[in-house]
Structure 1
Amino acid sequence: MAALPPPSPYAATALPGPGGALADVGLTVGGRTWHLAGRGGGQAERDRALAAMAAVAAVPGGGLPVFVGAGLGAGIRAVREISAGPIFVCDREAAIDAATGLRAALAGDAGIHFFDDPDPARAAARVADAARAASFAALAVIAHPVYARLDPGWYGGVTAGLRAYAAFRDRVAYPKFASRQAPARVLLLSRPYFLYREIEAALARLGLPWRRVATGSGQTGEEGVVAAILAAVAEFQPDFALTVNHLGLDREGRLTDLFASLGLPLASWFVDSPRLILHDYAALASKRTMVFSYDADALPALQDLGFVHTAWLPLATDPDRFRPLAGAAGPHPWRARASFVGASMVPQAGEALGKLAPYPLLAAHLPGAAAGFAASPEKSARAFLAAHPACAGPFAALPTAEARLDAELALTWEATRRYRLACVRGLLPFSPLIAGDAAWETALPGAGRDWRRLPELHYYDELPGFYPRSDVNLNCTSLQMKGAVNQRVFDVPAAGGFVLTDAREQLAALFEPGREMAVYADPAEIPDMVRHYLAHPGARARLAEAGRARVLAEHTYDRRLLRLVAAMKKAFGCVPKAW
């Protein structure tokens, strides 16, 4: 920035009126005398201030008064008579203030803020920051004409900065979803996570305009992220913002408040347990946020957290990535009659149980409780622990919310470990191929074993080629989602493979069990069902083909994004300006 021209040197003298009260300030500038109050005196200052406030009175929430030059203070006092809100004064004239004594007189009013930064752009930016924090409030700029003559560089710079804020505010004040015909414009809050690739590809295929804003991988809500979002909103003018699992949002709610102040609706699609993610987030239930959950059972709890807009949005697949593979029946190291892809859950359960070491009574009873939870119709780990005869007391006595969450995780992961082990054991008579962590080596029989293990497979690069090479792909769902379905029930059929999955309540709303999906109700059924389908390749093929047809028709990410956009448009269509 170029150096500012020096202000004109002057002397200021208080001029009392009848009765001794301050009536004006005489300014001696270059041998000439100016009058601060001018012909109208203090009344002119009052009139100027009240006119500026009236000009923004129709704006929701009114406007923030900003005085560019304090003058005699008559205008400031007039605004204070009609408004209890903050008042901003950009003024660095020490000589005038010495004559008026205004700052000292107003020092008791904590709502009056003086800005005198040497850099006028910084002074204006501080006012703009306060206006943005107040839901992008309008500014009622009250410029004293004498100050721009005394120091045109500084007061002109302040005024230019305030105008820039007003222009930016106008750019982000556009109505959202204003046209029913125009495609929705999506601002994607991007972080490293597998689902973002699918969302971006689906948006591109659907022809929906979108813009990515990277929110990093550490703490969020900092100025760099805020600035990037503001720039994208002003330039791209999205209809709503989209995140996955609340990724990119800060726990304190700064970004949620920012979207609310912009009048920009926010969609958050949870593809993992909302409870495990939101337990340590506060004040994020904005009325302009819609939460989508892959698990319909999570919706009541989300509503209890204050989210007004919620919807069920299951997982899906990308058929451009998962598709039938030519020659899948031929020789290959991955070729198998039966297979399972997934974690043993041994490390996860061990780590979670280890966190309960300070609570030995609960830790002692929890493994037994986990066996019961796996078989119980109760979906909530918290509710199960609270009602369990041996665990209820120790669980209620835990000192913190974090400790209670650790107990829920320990129950869930240990129950999942036991359940998954029971399911995979049902594959052992068929020389299965198991792709997962090294803990499977100790979890399953070692001596004389007739099964193979692969290291964990990369979702994008390897799984699309793995599923078609197994005659039977076993699926057993994590117990963090007792009623929901996981990714595998969509990916395997899309790849042309056959999947044998466990019964889940929400599965029946997505597929027709027995015609489009082979389903077992208990791990004990797995060996007989695998034996049956290995012996009847025609039945396998019919189920795989019917399942794939249903997936392509209803369960792609394109379909999910269309549903999400339609729900956002219905909830927030023609959203009015926030100011």
Structure 2
Amino acid sequence: MQVSVSKDYQVRPVADNETLVDVQITRSGKTMPLLGPGGAEREMQLLRPFLSQEDRTGTLPVLLGSGMGHALQALLEQYDGPVAVVDNELPILHCTRLNQLPAQTGTSDAAHKGQHPGLLAEALSTGRILWIADDNPETVLAGLTKWQMEHGGKPLLALSHPFYLRLDRDYYGTIRDRLAASVRYDFWAKAAYPKFSGTAPRLLLITSQYFLMGEIVTACERLGYPYHLLTLSDDEVGHTEFVERLLKAVLEFKPDFAFTINHLGVDREGVLTDLLEKLQLPLASWFVDNPHLILYLYNRLISPWTAIFTWDTDNIASLQSMGFEHVRYLPLGTDPVRFAKPASVPAHHPLKRDISFVGNSMVYKVAHRMRAGRFPKPLLTTYRQVARDFAAHEERSVRQFLQHHHPALFTHFSELDTPERQLSYETMITWEATRQYRARCVEQTLPFSPLIVGDKGWRQTFRSTQHPWDLHPEIGYYDELPHFYPLSTINFNCTSKQMKGAVNQRVFDVPATGSFVLTDWREQMDELFVPGKEVICYHEPEEAPDLIRFYLHNEQARHTVISAARKRILAEHSYEQRVTDLAAAMRDIFG
């Protein structure tokens, strides 16, 4: 029987009493056997370099060509560890029927199945075998690198089938030579350099477009801390290309630790966490949003080489209870060069106001989470009341709040069939609680004709008010906001309900520009500022109007508070200070 192929050769099965014993390959008029004399015993000779080792756990075997499957079967019988197979010869696989076992995910959709039932089928179905079929050797090598990282970074040992080297030396020979070179290079020895050996720490910054990374870069430059930026896109997290660039950066830059914000770059499967642990490279992850709304979807994240920093002390105990050994408090701050006091403020400007508020209405954010979660009726009809109750309660976790105070709803929540849907519900409740609270607070400014800078959801929020107010579209944090704050006599602030005890960015940014902020009180604020002298707070939204009237008409009182706040911020709350504190903590933990 002749098999139709897309390769430049043709194959024909050789049978003995209906049992497949060999495969003949014809190319350019020349026919050659896959096994030839010696049969199975000859094929199994290629296992000798691996099976002859005293310690077979020290390397990862990679078969270059599956042949008739005899060597692979023998390897699985005599070794219980992971195995990789590189075989891009679909026509041969059709004849050997190694492409007719249950599929196992590799790096391509080509054939990667087996003739031998039992052990081979089980190994494929359990993921013990990585089977790679791809026309590009670089893609194959990238897949093997990722697999290597997933198995402790052990050296890869190429076991080359002689026939496949004759069939396509450019392909299989290239892969064999590259694998041999990687073993000689001894990557892990080069990666085992001493950390924190210099005076200035070296930071590997894992970043995308997250707004705070710019401040971290600037702070490193002012402090004289060497840094290397490793940028990635959302769909690159955990992928081979990112892993390869990380390894390259570690070898060439030799950082003391890696740094990320909100666990950006840490994949849910834990590939990066495992890799950093193998490298003995510490990771500092600074959470500036609720970590429980981020870590919710992750697995295998607990590592002794990871330190968690949180801007909210309320999260410390719960993060420790999750198993994180190193958890430290690191509040937000400001960039006093970007948010600088202007030489003068325009006397006339279209955005100049007595009072303004910058922030999202949360109307559309709540709706987006609602659509994403596709929640059952009991959760939909009660979400506003649940959010109201959650906002008023001291509990920080929506999940815990439901479990203890709305057990019937917690049952419906627990029945949501994916972690993503559960996360959408928790986030929806958090945003709805913020929406209600923010509307109640900002409403207190309406008698003073405020300028609200935000989304169109504010028109829906205040559609029934009789007070005049203006809406301006959202403005850029970096290029517009520093110039906007000085245009208002009072910058009004109210904090998200994702942070019930912590303070937000605005209490640092506004005074740094020489401007006045009126904010809601938070428990952790008293550790950062002297209340009544360096910061003015309302404890309940209804207290705000009297404070607005007083500070609108008392310029000296405003400037006294601004001066004191700005002095404290420049001394203690800049991002240079935050990076200094973080680096010192990393040296203390891992140095």
Same fold (TM over 0.5): yes
Determine whether 1:458 maps to 2:473: no
Q: Cα 1:143–1:371, aligned 2, differ >3 Å: closer, same or farther?
A: closer
Cα offset, 1:464, TM superposition: 0.3
Determine whether 1:431 maps to 2:446: no
Cα offset, 1:513, TM superposition: 1.3
Aligned to 2:529: 511
Alignment partner for residue 552 of structure 1, among 570, 578, 582?
570
Count of residue pairs the alignment pairs up: 531
Alignment partner for residue 361 of structure 1, among 374, 378, 387?
378
Q: Cα 1:113–1:449, aligned 2, differ >3 Å: closer, same or farther?
A: closer
Secondary structure of the residue that 1:397 maps to in structure 2? helix
Determine whether 1:393 maps to 2:411: no
> What pairs with 1:203-218 in structure 2 (closer than 5 Å)?
203-218=220-235
> Does the CA contact (< 8 Å) of 1:202 and 1:558 recur in 2?
yes
Cα offset, 1:155, TM superposition: 9.8
Alignment partner for residue 432 of structure 2, among 414, 429, 433?
414
Cα offset, 1:476, TM superposition: 0.4
Q: Cα 1:165–1:442, aligned 2, differ >3 Å: closer, same or farther?
A: same
Aligned to 2:518: 500
Alignment partner for residue 536 of structure 1, among 538, 545, 554?
554
Instruction: Tell me how far apart the structure 2 counterparts of residues 327 and 393 of structure 1 sit (CA, whole Å).
Output: 58
Judge which range, 350-359 or 182-191, deviates more. Answer: 350-359
Question: What residue identity is the alignment partner of 1:348?
Answer: K
Once the two structures are superposed, what CA deviation does each residue of 1:203-242 show, in whole Å capped at 9, x if it has no partner?
2222222222221132522222222222222222222222
Cα offset, 1:497, TM superposition: 0.9
Instruction: Tell me how far apart the structure 2 counterparts of residues 125 and 447 of structure 1 sit (CA, whole Å).
Output: 61
Cα offset, 1:291, TM superposition: 1.8
Determine whether 1:564 maps to 2:579: no
Quote the sequence identity (%).
42
Determine whether 1:135 maps to 2:149: no
Cα offset, 1:293, TM superposition: 1.6
> Does the CA contact (< 8 Å) of 2:142 and 2:241 recur in 1?
no
Alignment partner for residue 361 of structure 2, among 328, 337, 344?
344
> Does the CA contact (< 8 Å) of 1:259 and 1:266 recur in 2?
yes
Cα offset, 1:514, TM superposition: 1.5
> Does the CA contact (< 8 Å) of 1:128 and 1:162 recur in 2?
no
Cα offset, 1:117, TM superposition: 11
Once the two structures are superposed, what CA deviation does each residue of 1:432-471 show, in whole Å capped at 9, x if it has no partner?
2221222223423667533322221211111101111212
Q: Cα 1:112–1:544, aligned 2, differ >3 Å: closer, same or farther?
A: closer
> Does the CA contact (< 8 Å) of 2:195 and 2:255 recur in 1?
no
Question: What residue identity is the alignment partner of 1:396?
Answer: T
> Does the CA contact (< 8 Å) of 2:357 and 2:493 recur in 1?
yes
Q: Flag the structure with larger Rg.
A: 1
Instruction: Tell me how far apart the structure 2 counterparts of residues 474 and 197 of structure 1 sit (CA, whole Å).
Output: 25
> Does the CA contact (< 8 Å) of 2:86 and 2:131 recur in 1?
yes
Secondary structure of the residue that 1:183 maps to in structure 2? coil
> What pairs with 1:80-479 in structure 2 (closer than 5 Å)?
85=81, 130-138=147-155, 160-170=177-187, 173-175=190-192, 178-328=195-345, 330-352=347-369, 358-388=375-405, 391-398=406-413, 399-400=415-416, 401-444=419-462, 449-479=467-497
Instruction: Tell me how far apart the structure 2 counterparts of residues 119 and 370 of structure 1 sit (CA, whole Å).
Output: 53
Secondary structure of the residue that 1:284 maps to in structure 2? coil
Aligned to 1:524: 542
Instruction: Tell me how far apart the structure 2 counterparts of residues 461 and 121 of structure 1 sit (CA, whole Å).
Output: 42
> Does the CA contact (< 8 Å) of 1:138 and 1:166 recur in 2?
yes
Instruction: Tell me how far apart the structure 1 counterparts of residues 321 and 565 of structure 2 sit (CA, whole Å).
Output: 36
> Does the CA contact (< 8 Å) of 1:477 and 1:485 recur in 2?
yes
Instruction: Tell me how far apart the structure 2 counterparts of residues 132 and 465 of structure 1 sit (CA, whole Å).
Output: 48
Aligned to 2:499: 481
Once the two structures are superposed, what CA deviation does each residue of 1:233-263 show, in whole Å capped at 9, x if it has no partner?
2222222222211222322222222322333
Aligned to 1:31: none
Instruction: Tell me how far apart the structure 2 counterparts of residues 433 and 533 of structure 1 sit (CA, whole Å).
Output: 17
Question: What residue identity is the alignment partner of 2:191?
Answer: Y
TM-score by length of 2: 0.75
Once the two structures are superposed, what CA deviation does each residue of 1:67-100 show, in whole Å capped at 9, x if it has no partner?
999xxxxxx9999999754578999xx9xxxxxx
> Does the CA contact (< 8 Å) of 2:378 and 2:412 recur in 1?
no
Instruction: Tell me how far apart the structure 2 counterparts of residues 180 and 379 of structure 1 sit (CA, whole Å).
Output: 40
Cα offset, 1:406, TM superposition: 3.5
Instruction: Tell me how far apart the structure 2 counterparts of residues 480 and 270 of structure 1 sit (CA, whole Å).
Output: 12
Instruction: Tell me how far apart the structure 2 counterparts of residues 215 and 506 of structure 1 sit (CA, whole Å).
Output: 34
Question: What residue identity is the alignment partner of 2:300?
Answer: A
Instruction: Tell me how far apart the structure 2 counterparts of residues 355 and 116 of structure 1 sit (CA, whole Å).
Output: 37
Once the two structures are superposed, what CA deviation does each residue of 1:326-366 show, in whole Å capped at 9, x if it has no partner?
22262212222222111122223344456677533333333
Secondary structure of the residue that 1:323 maps to in structure 2? coil
> What pairs with 1:45-60 in structure 2 (closer than 5 Å)?
53=54
Q: Cα 1:447–1:172, aligned 2, differ >3 Å: closer, same or farther?
A: same
Q: Cα 1:449–1:264, aligned 2, differ >3 Å: closer, same or farther?
A: same
Secondary structure of the residue that 1:516 maps to in structure 2? coil
Secondary structure of the residue that 2:259 maps to in structure 1? strand
Q: Cα 1:176–1:298, aligned 2, differ >3 Å: closer, same or farther?
A: farther
Once the two structures are superposed, what CA deviation does each residue of 1:121-158 show, in whole Å capped at 9, x if it has no partner?
999887666543321124679999xxx9xx99999866
> Does the CA contact (< 8 Å) of 2:145 and 2:240 recur in 1?
no
Instruction: Tell me how far apart the structure 2 counterparts of residues 286 and 458 of structure 1 sit (CA, whole Å).
Output: 37
Instruction: Tell me how far apart the structure 2 counterparts of residues 169 and 84 of structure 1 sit (CA, whole Å).
Output: 25
Q: Cα 1:170–1:225, aligned 2, differ >3 Å: closer, same or farther?
A: closer
TM-score by length of 1: 0.76
Question: What residue identity is the alignment partner of 2:363?
Answer: V
Secondary structure of the residue that 2:304 maps to in structure 1? coil
Aligned to 1:72: none
Question: What residue identity is the alignment partner of 1:207?
Answer: G
Aligned to 2:101: none
Once the two structures are superposed, what CA deviation does each residue of 1:307-328 show, in whole Å capped at 9, x if it has no partner?
2222222111111110111222
Q: Cα 1:163–1:443, aligned 2, differ >3 Å: closer, same or farther?
A: same
Question: What residue identity is the alignment partner of 1:369?
Answer: V
Q: Cα 1:375–1:88, aligned 2, differ >3 Å: closer, same or farther?
A: closer
Secondary structure of the residue that 2:492 maps to in structure 1? strand
Q: Cα 1:543–1:67, aligned 2, differ >3 Å: closer, same or farther?
A: same
Aligned-residue CA RMSD (Å): 4.6
Instruction: Tell me how far apart the structure 2 counterparts of residues 460 and 134 of structure 1 sit (CA, whole Å).
Output: 43
Q: Cα 1:471–1:190, aligned 2, differ >3 Å: closer, same or farther?
A: same
Cα offset, 1:266, TM superposition: 1.8
Once the two structures are superposed, what CA deviation does each residue of 1:31-68 show, in whole Å capped at 9, x if it has no partner?
xxxxxx9xxxxxxx99x9799657xx9xxx74457899
Aligned to 1:32: none
Instruction: Tell me how far apart the structure 1 counterparts of residues 524 and 582 of structure 2 sit (CA, whole Å).
Output: 18
> Does the CA contact (< 8 Å) of 1:176 and 1:240 recur in 2?
no
